Amino acid sequence: MSAWIRDRAVRRAALVLELPAQDICTAEVAMFTEMPVSELSQYRPDLAVPDDLDRFWQTTLAEVAEHPLDVVAEPVRDTPLRSVIVYDVTFSGFGGHRISAWYLVPRQLDRPAPTVIEYIGYGGGRGLPQEWLFWSAAGYPHLIMDTRGQGSAWRSGDTVDGGSAGLPHVPGFLTDGLPDRDRYYYRRLFADAVRAVDAATELPFCDPDRLVTTGISQGGALALAAASLHPNVARTMPSVPFLCNIKRSAQVATLGPYRELVQWCEVQHTKVDAAFATLAYFDLAILARSARCPALFGISLRDEKCPPSGGYACFNQYGGPKQMLAYEWNGHEGGEAFRLGHQADWLAAWLA
The catalytic residues are 217, 303, 332
Q: What Cα–Cα distance (Å) separates residue 339 from each residue in 18, 214, 240?
A: 12, 12, 11
Measured distance CA(116)–CA(104) in Å, rounded: 10
CA atoms 63, 246, 28, 334: torsion sign: positive
CA angle 296–199–178, rounded 5-degree value: 70
Q: DSSP string spanning 27-59?
A: ------TTS-HHHHTT----PPPPTTHHHHHHH
Between CA 197 and CA 188 the distance in angstroms is 15
Strands (E), the chain: 16-19, 72-75, 84-92, 98-106, 113-119, 142-145, 206-216, 233-239, 295-300, 322-327
Q: β-pairing, 113-119 with 206-216?
A: parallel
Q: How far apart are CA 240 and CA 253, in angstroms?
A: 13
Residue type, 206: C
- Between helix 185-200 and helix 53-65 the angle, nearest 10°, is 60
CA–CA distance, 206 with 212 (Å, rounded to integer): 11
**Terminal Cα-to-Cα distance of the chain (whole angstroms):** 44
